[in-house]
Each structure stands twice: as structure tokens, then as C-alpha cells.
């Protein structure tokens, strides 16, 4: 099917003009939510600091960065930020076909002078890519406000933590704060913990699986909107919970059986440990690749559903 850049640009301008209130509201909700979580995190850290400062006599001395880590400790705030961003990505993906929610919207959408590929491409770009860029931009704004308040209240000498850096460290398991949920420091390039090659590869494989899983989950919500124009986000969430529960149980049963068989035949613990590590690394990478392949399949299937959209649809009334 032909793809004309002029028609594509004209459809994009039309969609932005007609649905400007929808896009504006989504942007405001995203920005307000991410900034709000960052400010709540800062207020929490400030209240903890004040509580310690007010009890300085009990502690023996005013709090200093050396024994009070909450000046720049952002990981809990970042966890909530990440959760909210994943939620918004799902909502963006689940709203790409919002023009088709009612009969008049379907009439307008399906009769516009643009090909299905051009219209579908625009919807995918504005919701998937645009939504992701909006979340990152909002996180950067919240990060700036958090840094400004930290400087104003605690001073530059106490350091300024970055929400964006914390998000990346959490995503890649490269945190450098030993107080984070009492977990040991894990750093491939740091000095705190040295990891062997197998551990480092497992770390990279796990990061790849997490990223591919987030992409896959987002595309599943995208596909849900191709199947159902109304209440699709709620229905997709319920379906994911059911499938996720079954899949998790099956995965643990499979890994338990595989580990039991491997352990029962161990002759050389060191060699067997490396073999088992390589097995789980391969399994993790395979699952990540399958998630990306499944995402591509769902995108293609969503496009096929879009090309077969009807003005009158009893399923989506």
C-alpha cells in the first residue's frame, strides 16, 4: 500500500486539531502526575530530615550527609515514578483508536483522504512514541524541580540526586546505594562489588528482558484497543492479570523442575554452576526475544483489525 508523506502530514494536522483537548488533557495528567510524585517524594525526605533535625539533641549532633542519606535518596520516589509511567504508557497505547469509539467518529476516521497505513502509522507514533517522549520529558521537568528544591533546602554541598539517573539504575540493576531496600550493591563497572562474567551477562540479560517485557505489555494494551474500542484498558488489564498469574506459576514450575534435574546430576559444582547460569541467561534472552517478536505480531494484527474496521460495529456499541 502506498505511503504519501503529504497525506500523512495532513492527517496528523487534522487529528491534532480535532483532538487537541484530548491530547492536551493527557499531557497535563502525565506532567502533573510525575511532578506530583516527585514533590511528594521531596516532602517526605524533608519531613524525615526535619524530624531528625528537631531531635538533634537525642542524636547527639545535627544530621550530616555522612550519617543521613535522605538528602539525595530518590529510589522509592523513582519506583512510584516508574509505576506511574508504565501506567500512562498503557493508557496511551489503549487510547490510539479513541476516534472509533462512536459511530460518528468511525465515519469521520474511515472516510478521511488518507490510506489505512498512513492513519495507523500516525496513531501508533502519537500514542507509543509520543507518549514515551512525553513521559521522559515530564520526568526531566520533575527531576529539575526536585534538584532545585534539594539545592534550596539542603545546599549543594550535600549533593543532588537525580530521578532520571535513579530510574536508569533501577532499570539496569546498577544501583550504587547499599541502603536501597537492604540489597547489596550491584555494579558492573563500580568498585563495590566485583562480578564474574556469568553474573554480568545475567545482569544484562535480565535488563533486556525487563525492557522487552515493558514494550510487550504496552503493545498488548495497544492490541486491546484494536479489539475493543470501549472499556478496553480495564478488560486488557484483567486479561493480563489472569494470563500473568498462569504464566508465572508455569514459569516457576518449569524452572524448579529444570533446576532439580540439573542439581541431581551435579558432579562438579563450579562447572555445573556456570552451566546453570548459562542456561538461565539463554532462557532470559530467549524470553526477551519472544516478547519482542510477539509485540511485532500484535502490531501487525492491530493493523489488520484497523483495516477491517466497520462503521457499524455491534461489538463496540
Could you report the per-residue pLDDT of 124-156, keeping only the tens digit for each? 999 999 999 999 999 999 999 998 988 888 777
For residue 287, pLDDT over 60 is answered with yes
Q: Return the residue matching grid coordinates 489505512.
A: 116
Q: pLDDT category, 179, cuts 50, 70, 90? A: very low
Q: pLDDT category, 102, cuts 50, 70, 90? A: confident
pLDDT at 172: 74
Q: What 8-state DSSP symbol labels residue 174?
A: -
User: How far apart are the C-alpha atoms of 230 and 317, rounded to whole Å?
Assistant: 8
The rounded percent of the chain whose pLDDT value lies above 70 is: 75
pLDDT at 83: 92
Stated pTM of the model: 0.81
For residue 92, pLDDT over 60 is answered with yes
**Domain identity same for 169 and 217:** no
Average confidence (pLDDT) over 34-51:
86
**Domain identity same for 25 and 89:** yes
Q: How many residues does the chain have?
A: 317
Of 95, 83, 89, the closest CA to residue 37 belongs to 83
**Domain identity same for 153 and 227:** no
Q: Return the residue matching grid coordinates 486488557.
A: 236
**Domain identity same for 93 and 201:** no
Report the interhelical angle of 197-227 vs 163-172 (nearest 10°).
100
For residue 247, pLDDT over 90 is answered with no
Q: Which of 58-62, 135-139, 189-193, 203-207 has the highest mean pLDDT?
A: 135-139
Least confident of 30-34, 125-129, 251-255: 251-255
pLDDT at 96: 93
Q: Return the residue matching grid coordinates 555494579.
A: 187
Last-in-domain residue among 145, 166, 188: 188
**Domain identity same for 81 and 121:** yes
Contacts of 49 (CB under 8 A, 6+ apart): 63, 68, 70, 71, 154
pLDDT at 8: 93
Write the DSSP assignment of 44-90 as a string of letters: HHHHHHHHHHHTHHHHTS---TTT-GGGT--HHHHHHHHHHHHHHHH
**Domain identity same for 101 and 227:** no
For residue 34, pLDDT over 70 is answered with yes
pLDDT at 13: 93
Contacts of 6 (CB under 8 A, 6+ apart): none
For residue 16, pLDDT over 90 is answered with yes
**Domain identity same for 15 and 162:** yes
**Domain identity same for 219 and 104:** no
**Domain identity same for 84 and 23:** yes
pLDDT at 67: 47
pLDDT at 187: 41
Last-in-domain residue among 188, 208, 237: 188
CA 200 vs CA 84, 187, 212, 290: distances in Å: 29, 9, 18, 22
Last-in-domain residue among 162, 188, 214: 188
For residue 190, pLDDT over 50 is answered with no
pLDDT at 161: 76
pLDDT at 300: 95
pLDDT at 122: 95
**Domain identity same for 168 and 268:** no
The rounded percent of the chain whose pLDDT value lies above 90 is: 40
* Geometric angle at alpha carbon 84, from 177 and 20, rounded to 5°: 140
For residue 311, pLDDT over 50 is answered with yes
Tell me whether residue 250 is exposed, middle or buried, using C-beta atoms within 10 angstroms of its C-beta: 0 to 12, 13 to 18, 19 or more. exposed
* Geometric angle at alpha carbon 113, from 112 and 117, rounded to 5°: 90
Which residues form the domain of 207? 195-317
Average confidence score pLDDT of the chain: 81
Of 253, 167, 265, the closest CA to residue 211 belongs to 167
**Domain identity same for 181 and 210:** no
Q: Where is 253: in which H helix or E strand?
A: helix 232-264
pLDDT at 254: 74
pLDDT at 63: 60
Largest Cα span, the chain: 76
Amino acid at each position: 500500500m502506498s505511503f504519501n508523506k503529504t497525506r500523512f502530514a495532513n492527517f496528523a494536522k487534522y487529528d491534532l486539531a480535532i483532538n487537541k483537548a484530548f491530547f492536551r488533557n493527557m499531557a497535563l495528567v502525565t506532567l502533573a502526575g510525575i511532578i506530583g510524585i516527585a514533590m511528594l517524594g521531596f516532602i517526605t525526605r524533608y519531613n524525615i530530615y526535619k524530624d531528625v533535625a528537631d531531635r538533634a539533641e537525642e542524636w547527639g549532633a545535627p544530621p550530616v550527609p555522612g550519617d543521613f542519606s535522605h538528602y539525595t535518596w530518590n529510589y522509592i520516589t523513582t519506583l512510584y515514578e516508574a509505576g506511574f509511567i508504565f501506567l500512562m504508557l498503557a493508557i496511551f497505547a489503549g487510547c490510539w483508536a479513541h476516534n472509533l469509539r462512536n459511530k460518528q467518529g468511525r465515519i469521520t476516521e474511515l472516510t478521511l483522504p488518507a490510506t489505512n497505513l498512513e492513519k495507523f502509522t500516525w496513531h501508533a507514533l502519537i500514542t507509543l512514541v509520543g507518549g514515551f517522549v512525553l513521559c521522559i520529558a515530564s520526568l526531566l521537568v520533575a527531576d529539575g524541580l526536585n534538584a532545585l528544591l534539594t539545592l534550596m533546602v539542603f545546599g549543594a554541598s550535600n549533593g543532588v540526586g537525580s530521578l532520571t539517573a535513579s530510574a536508569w539504575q533501577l532499570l539496569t540493576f546498577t544501583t550504587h546505594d547499599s541502603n536501597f531496600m537492604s540489597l547489596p550493591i550491584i555494579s558492573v563497572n563500580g568498585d563495590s562489588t566485583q562480578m564474574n562474567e556469568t553474573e554480568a551477562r545475567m545482569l544484562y540479560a535480565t535488563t533486556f528482558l525487563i525492557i522487552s517485557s515493558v514494550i510487550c505489555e504496552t503493545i498488548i494494551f495497544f492490541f486491546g484497543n484494536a479489539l475493543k474500542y470501549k472499556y478496553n484498558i480495564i478488560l486488557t488489564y484483567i486479561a493480563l492479570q489472569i494470563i500473568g498469574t498462569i504464566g508465572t506459576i508455569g514459569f516457576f514450575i518449569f524452572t524448579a523442575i529444570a533446576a532439580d534435574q540439573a542439581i541431581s546430576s551435579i558432579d562438579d559444582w563450579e562447572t555445573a554452576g556456570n552451566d546453570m547460569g548459562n542456561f538461565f541467561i539463554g532462557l532470559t534472552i530467549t524470553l526477551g526475544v519472544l516478547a519482542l517478536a510477539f509485540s511485532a505480531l500484535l502490531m501487525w494484527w492491530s493493523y489488520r483489525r484497523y483495516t477491517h474496521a466497520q462503521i457499524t460495529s455491534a461489538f463496540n456499541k
